[in-house]
Every structure is written in C-alpha cells, then in structure tokens.
Amino acid sequence: MTGAATLSPAVPKPAHVPDAAVYDFDMFADPAYVADPHKRVMDLVQNAPRVFWTPRNGGHWMLMSHAAIFNAARDIEAFSSEIVPQSQIKAMVARLPPGTPHIPQPLPINIDPPDHTKYRAPLNRVFSPKAINALKNDIRALANQLLDRVADKGRCEFMTEVAEPLPVQVFLKMLGLPLERQEEYRAIVKDHLSDPDPDPKNVMKKLLHITAIMRDTMLERRENPRDDIISLLWKTEIDGKPTTMDDMENYGVVLFIAGLDTVMNGIGHGVRHLAMDLPLQDQLRQNPQLVAEATEEILRRYTFTVPPRVVGKDMEFEGLQMKKGERAMLFLPAADLDPKEYANSESVDLKRENKVHIAFNAGPHRCLGSHLARVELQIVYEQVLARLPQFRLDPEHPPTFHCGHIIGVDSLHLTWNS
Amino acid sequence: MKLRIDKAKCVGNARCAAVSEELFPLDEDGYIAVEQIDVPAGKEGLARRGARACPERIIIIEDEGQ
C-alpha cells in the first residue's frame, strides 16, 4: 500500500556475493519506485547491475536483463517456483493435528514441472484463446455500462469506476462466485498481496481465509453444476483421478489471487499512459484497428509483475555464484525496458520492429490468464477511446501506486470536457 | 518456405495464431498443434511475422524457399 514508506531492514551480504553485485533496492517500499514505478524501473535499467543482490526484504537476487530473465524463466532446475519446497510443506502438514483443515497451495503457480503440467492441464482449456474470445461481447457490454456511468461527469477516479470492477466482475462470473460479495473478495486479495511477510504460517493463514469464503459455492456446484469454471473443474480429472475438494481449494486460491488483482493494474497503467499521451489517443481514435498493436506495446512499456523464484542448486549464473535456497526475483518490468532488446525502450512506439515482450513471463509458467488479460485490456482501450473525449490526468490528484510482486495503481484521477 | 516448431517448448502464448490462425493451428488448449509448416506460396511474409511473434522463439525458419 502507499503507506508502506519504511524500508525493510538491510541484512548482511553473504560472503559469496561480490560488492559490485550489491544494489540497495526495496521492491516493496523504495520511495522513488512507489512514487512513479516505471520511471524508477527505467532508472534501475540504466544504473543498476543487470543481475544484483539487494539486502532488503531478507536479502534476495534481482534479475534485470531480458536475457537473464528469459533464460532463468525457462530453466526450472536453476530457478524453482517452489518458494516453500514441497518436501517442507509435506513435513509441515504431517505435523498438524488430525482434523486440521486442508492447507491450500496456489497450484500450479508454486510447483515445478512435471507436477505443474498435471495441475495446469485442466485450466488451459478454460483460459484458451478460443474460450476467451467467446466472452468478448459480454466484456464489451460491461465496459460500456461502466463508462456510460461516468461519461457525463467530466471526471472520475478510473480505478474504482472501471479498472477494478470490470475484470473482477468478469472473473467472478467465469468462476461462478456471487457478484454481491465482490468487495469482500477484493479486500481479502488486497490484504494478501500487500503483506510482504513471507513467513509460511502467516501465508497459510491468509490462504485458509480465501478458501473459507469460496467453500459454500464450491460444495454447491459439486451437487448442482452450472456453466462456470468451478463446475467444470469438478468434472475434470487431474492426472487421471477425479478432482477432490483439496484440489478445488488449491485452484481456488490461485485463480482468486491471480484473477482479482492483475488485469486491473494493467488497465490502470495503460489508461494512465493514454491520459499522458494525447497524440496516441488521437491516433487510436482515428485508427481503432491499431489498438491491438498498442495494447502489446503498452504491455511492454508498463510490464507490472515480478514473479519470485528460488535458486534450485548451487551454481554460477551470469558470472555470479548463487546458492541453493536463495530467493531471486524475475523483474519483468526491467526485462521489457532493456535497451539491448528494445531500442529507445522508454518510448511507446507502434512502429517498433520488435514488440515481442515477456510481460506474461516466459517458460512453462507463462501467465495462464494472458489471453483473458489481452482481451480485457484491448476492449477497455477501445471503449474508453470511443466513449470518452480526449482525457487527461487530473493535475490536482496525481496517480498513486503500490509496489511488490505486482506494481499496482491505487488511484487514477482523469478529467475531460463533458 | 518451411517452418520448424519446437513443439515441446510451446507454452501457449498463441501469438503466432494472432498473426494467422490458418498458418499456425492451435490445439484445444491453445498450444501449437503442429511441428512443421509448409508455407503456401504468397504467405511467406505472414509466416515470418508469425515466427517473429513467438516470445519463446521456438518457430524456426528452416528453408526460406524461393
């Protein structure tokens, strides 16, 4: 949250990390980063080492260059997604007294192949381009409905009015969760993602909270299936075995967290850019067919997720010694601004030769919701340009942000002539 | 023109199909369905763009053709 202005204490540097590879950056609370995130990312791209170790938040590696991240994301033995190793989770679960509720795990995010593949398979189809394209009309109608509510007012706080309700309502509907509880769900996700405490006990408590509020709907759909993802997951098999309540809770936490706090921030960054780039607004209003290209280029320019990894073995990587168990962040926002990969990386340029970004990460953990996210982003840009006249940032209320594994937009005040 | 696809490394970005669904067929899960593509005459530009669009860089132009 924006209030998190205090830096976490710096921990001593391990002996194998050379001085030249140390750079002090708090990915949750660095003041310049929280004030204007991608400006600070650009500063890091220009001034920080391409791979560095920061003493903040317990001490961890930061992978910055496109090449380093591309290679790391595709090498699951070197960079594991099992932040808490499966063996440790099993040992913890075995020590719990009988009758303790199932501890949900965010699968398939926090598990490596081959098990990753088994848990991901049932989800791929529901999030495939074909399945998502079928939702386009509904998403557009919802976007128009939200925009029409504010069009006459000449101003709005865009996050609350559009960026947040749109993807949240689409997702709750897809999943089959009651729309009336939208605010309650959002509050839980916000709390979950803004708390940097990596203590497994604290994480488990938060995950149990999420499954508790989904349980009724899940049990109900097992008996009375409908046309939604929860019903569909009950009917699939995981590695040849019928889905269990434990599996459902695992899927529940991952879909819940990923579905309710990602796209809204992408929308926030993109609409903020449009509000600052009036020539681009004009160009896209005159040529709406360019919005698809613009969506990709804006994703590259404002990549906003930072997936965590754990070093899987003692190794040398990019000339540095890394030890098994150390944490490493795939700092995707920097990869997509790497000048070695993209000339004049800071400019949003629809004519750019190479717009192929890794905003959805590379490798087997490629964002499952990427097709949904792209459709939502594109439709919001199309409709905001169609329904609102030229809009700008409200100079009285500059946008505010929060940082962490997601670079989020907290508020985005826009004005226009109504 | 011929394209070779390292199908096992496909992670389902579907960016090739966003360039041309006909040239780059996907399976039901949205992953590439083929390992090799014989590009029909006249579609070379589209094939090149589709190959370049792959974030995983697994679509390789094997034979530039005529």
Does B54 touch chain A if contact means CB atoms closer than 8 Å?
A: yes
Listed in sequence order, the DSSP H helices in A306-390 are 332-335, 370-387
How far A396 CA lies from chain B's nearest CA (Å)?
40
Q: Which residues contact B20 (CB under 8 A, 6 or more apart)?
A: B43, B46, B47, B49, B50
Residue A331, sorted as left (phi over 0), alpha (psi -120 to 50) or beta, turns out to be beta
Give me the pLDDT at residue A330, please: 98
- Tell me how many degrees the CA angle A113-A306-A391 measures, rounded to the nearest 5: 130
Tens of pLDDT, residue by residue over A132-151, are 999 999 999 999 999 999 99
Does B14 touch chain A if contact means CB atoms closer than 8 Å?
A: yes
**Complete DSSP assignment for A132-151:** HHTTHHHHHHHHHHHHHHHG
Does A308 touch chain B if contact means CB atoms closer than 8 Å?
A: no
Does A342 touch chain B if contact means CB atoms closer than 8 Å?
A: no
**Residues A45, A51, A54, A60, Cα dihedral to 10°:** 130
Q: Residue A274's closest CA among A370, A348, A332, A345?
A: A348
Contact list in B for residue A125 (CB cut-off 8 A) is 28-30
Provide the CATH number for the domain around residue A314: 1.10.630.10
**Complete DSSP assignment for A275-323:** HH-HHHHHHHHH-GGGHHHHHHHHHHHT--B--EEEE-SSEEETTEEE-
Query: Which chain B residue lies closest to A130 (C-alpha atoms)?
Result: B30
How far A407 CA lies from chain B's nearest CA (Å)?
22
Tell me if A144 is assigned to some domain: yes
Say if CB A56 and CB A62 are below 8 A apart. no
| 3-class state of residue A337 by DSSP | coil
Instruction: Check B13 against A360: CB less than 8 A apart.
Output: yes
Instruction: Check A357 against B29: CB less than 8 A apart.
Output: no
Q: Which of A125, A356, A360 sits opposite B28 (nearest CB)?
A: A125
As a whole number of angstroms, the distance between CA A268 and CA A295 comes to: 13
**Residues A220, A221, A224, A226, Cα dihedral to 10°:** 140
Domain boundaries, given as residue ranges, for chain B:
2-63
Instruction: Check B30 against A357: CB less than 8 A apart.
Output: no
Tell me if A367 is assigned to some domain: yes
Q: Tell me, rounded to whole angstroms, the distance of Cα B27 from its chain centroid.
A: 13
Say if CB B58 and CB B3 are below 8 A apart. no
Residues of chain A where predicted confidence (pLDDT) is lower than 50: 1-4
CATH architecture of the domain with residue range B2-63: 2-Layer Sandwich (3.30)
Give me the pLDDT at residue A207, please: 83
Say if CB A8 and CB A40 are below 8 A apart. no
Tell me if A9 is assigned to some domain: no
Give me the pLDDT at residue A349, please: 97
Tens of pLDDT, residue by residue over B49-63, are 999 999 999 999 998
Q: Residue A66's closest CA among A283, A303, A358, A270?
A: A358
Give me the pLDDT at residue A3, please: 45
ipTM above 0.85, yes or no: yes
Cis peptide upstream of residue A37 (ω within 30 degrees of 0): no
As a whole number of angstroms, the distance between CA A414 and CA A158 comes to: 7
Task: Please give the C-alpha separations between residue A309 and each of A84, A96, A230, in angstroms, as whole numbers.
Answer: 10, 27, 29
Q: Which amino acid, A370?
A: S
**Complete DSSP assignment for A39-53:** HHHHHHHHHS-SEEE
Tens of pLDDT, residue by residue over A293-332, are 999 999 999 999 999 999 999 999 999 999 999 999 999 9
Contact list in B for residue A357 (CB cut-off 8 A) is 55
- Tell me how many degrees the CA angle A375-A376-A379 measures, rounded to the nearest 5: 85
Under 8 Å CB pairs connecting chains A and B tally to 48
Give me the pLDDT at residue A63, please: 98
Q: Which amino acid, B29?
A: D
As a whole number of angstroms, the distance between CA A41 and CA A345 comes to: 12
Split into its structural domains, chain A has a count of 1
Cis peptide upstream of residue A114 (ω within 30 degrees of 0): yes
pLDDT higher than 60, residue B27: yes
Tell me if A324 is assigned to some domain: yes
Does B56 touch chain A if contact means CB atoms closer than 8 Å?
A: yes
Contact list in A for residue B11 (CB cut-off 8 A) is 362-364, 366
Q: Residue A404's closest CA among A37, A24, A13?
A: A37
Give me the pLDDT at residue A4, please: 46
Give me the pLDDT at residue B66, please: 61
Q: Which residues contact A324 (CB under 8 A, 6 or more apart)?
A: A311, A312, A313, A314
Instruction: Check B55 against A371: CB less than 8 A apart.
Output: no
| 3-class state of residue A327 by DSSP | strand
Contact list in B for residue A129 (CB cut-off 8 A) is 14, 17-18, 26, 30
Tell me if A380 is assigned to some domain: yes
How far B61 CA lies from chain A's nearest CA (Å)?
17
Does A128 touch chain B if contact means CB atoms closer than 8 Å?
A: yes
Say if CB A73 and CB A44 are below 8 A apart. no
Q: Domain range holding A74?
A: 19-416
Does B19 touch chain A if contact means CB atoms closer than 8 Å?
A: no
Residue A218 tokens read as: 């899940």
Task: Please give the C-alpha separations between residue A200 and each of A250, B35, B45, in angstroms, as whole numbers.
Answer: 16, 43, 51
As a whole number of angstroms, the distance between CA A339 and CA A341 comes to: 5
